[in-house]
Homo-oligomer: A and B are copies of this chain.
C-alpha cells in the first residue's frame, strides 16, 4: 500500500492506495500499445482538443486538487493553486504547439535525375512511461509537463505515481482519464500505476518505448540503467539533481548587496528549497563583507517549513550536519525553524575558493532543501577554472553591474564558462522560476540531464517523444497526414 502523510504532522493523510499488481501493469502497458495507432490518427487537431479538455477538467477541479495536495505536501494553497494553473497552462501550451505544427519537422527534398525524392516527418515514438516528481505535485506529476508533451506527440502515457502524494495522484489521474475519454481519446491513452515495483516492471515492459523522469540523481540513474539493460534499450529522459552555481561579480556586490542578498534568500528558501533549480552554490568576491553580512541577515530572517516527505527531511538534515562538521566549512547563518516533525531550517555555510576546489566533487553535490554554500573568491581569474570543473547543472547565474565595463567583461567570461556546463544561463536573476515558453531549455550536461540535447520544460520538450521517418518516392496518397498536408 502507498500511504500519503501530512508533512505538517507526520500523520497518515487519507486512505492508502494499493500498489499496482504485476498483471495489471502488463495489461496497462498492453492497452497503451494498442492505443498507439488511434491516438496518432487523432491528429494534431484531435490531440489538441483532448489536451484542452484535460486542462479544463483540471481547472474545474482546482479547489479539490489543491486541498488534496496541501494535505499531502504542505506546500500551501497559494503555491498549489498557482501550480494547477501552471499545469493547465502547460497542457494548453502543447495544444498550441500542435497547432503551430513545427514539432513535426516536416521537410521535403525533391528528387531529380536518378535521385529519389524524400519527405521526412516526426512520428510518435510509442507508449511513454512518466515517473512523477515529488516536488511539483501537479506541474511535474500525473498531468505534468512530461505527460502533456508525450500526449501531444501522439504517445499514450503511463504515469508511475510519486509515493509522496498518492491521493492527489489518483484524483488527478481520474480527472485526466475522464477528460480524455470524453474527448474521444482511445482507451489505453492514459493510465497510472503505483509502487516502485510497478514502475520498474513498467519500464521493462516491451510495449514501453521511452521514459521521462524528474527527481534525484540516485533514483534517476537506477532507472536509466533499467532502460539501458532491456533486451531492447529505450531512451530515458531524466532531469536529475543540480546545484545551479550563482556568481556575484565585484561590481554587482558593491552596487546592490541588499537586493542580491534578498533575492538569494528568497530563491534558496522558495518551496522550502525543494526545487531542482535551487541556488546551491553562491560565489561572492571575498573582499565584500557587506554582501556576506547582507546574505547572513536575509537568511536569519527567512523561514523554514515542513519538507515533502520524511525521507527528504532525513536527507536534508544529514547534508546540513555533514557540512557543519567539516573543518573547512563555517556556518554563515541559520534561518527561522518551521513547525512540525519534518521541518527544515534554512542554513547557509561558507568556504574559501581553494578549500571548495579541494573539496570537489563532494562540496558541489546537490543538497535538496534550503541549504546553501557561499564560496568566497579573490579574483575571477581564480574562479573560472573552478567553475569549469563543476559537473553539469540545469542553470547558472551571473550577477554584474551593467554600468561597469569591468563587470560586463568579467560577466562575458563567466557566462562563457557557465554555458559549457549548464542548460540555462541567467543574467542578474535567480535560477528558480522556469518559464514555459518556446525558447526555454531545462536540461544541461550530465548529471543535470541524462540526455543533454533535450529539455523537460518548454515547447521543445515534445521532441523527446518523436522519431523521424523518411518516405522515399512515396505517392502523395500513401503519405501520412502531416506530410500530405504539405511541408517546407
- Interface residues of A, Cβ cutoff 8 Å to B: 37, 107-109, 115-116, 118-120, 123, 125-126, 228, 232-235, 391, 402, 408, 411-412, 415-416, 419-420, 422-429, 433, 435, 437-441, 443, 445-447, 450-453, 455, 460, 463, 466-475, 477-478, 480
With a CB–CB cut-off of 8 A, which chain B residues contact A427?
A: 471-475, 478
Q: Contact at A446–B402, with CB atoms within 8 Å?
A: no
What CA separation (Å) do A235 and B453 show in the bound complex?
A: 9
Enumerate chain B residues within 8 angstroms of A116, measured Cβ to Cβ. Answer: 426, 429, 433, 435
Sample of 25 A–B contacts (CB below 8 Å): A107-B438, A109-B435, A109-B437, A116-B426, A116-B429, A118-B440, A119-B439, A120-B460, A125-B453, A233-B450, A235-B451, A402-B475, A412-B478, A415-B474, A423-B467, A424-B469, A424-B472, A425-B474, A426-B473, A427-B473, A427-B475, A427-B478, A439-B470, A440-B470, A453-B466
A-B pairs, top 10 by smallest CB distance, nearest first, are: A109-B437, A441-B470, A109-B439, A118-B439, A120-B439, A424-B470, A426-B472, A441-B468, A427-B474, A107-B439
- With contacts A116-B429, A391-B232, A438-B107 taken as known, whether A453 is within 8 angstroms of B467 at the C-beta atoms is yes
Query: Do A425 and B472 touch across chains, with their CB atoms under 8 A apart?
Result: yes
Whether the pair B408, A440 counts as a contact (CB closer than 8 A) is no
Bound-state Cα–Cα, A434 to B176, Å:
44
Instruction: Check if A415 sits within 8 Å of B108, measured CB to CB.
Output: no
Q: 6 more A-B contacts (CB under 8 A) besides A423-B469, A441-B469?
A: A411-B478, A412-B478, A423-B470, A424-B470, A429-B473, A439-B470
Are B108 and A446 neighbours in the complex by a CB distance under 8 Å? no
B118–A437 touching, CB < 8 Å: yes
| Contact flag A480-B424 (CB < 8 Å), given A429-B116, A453-B467 | no
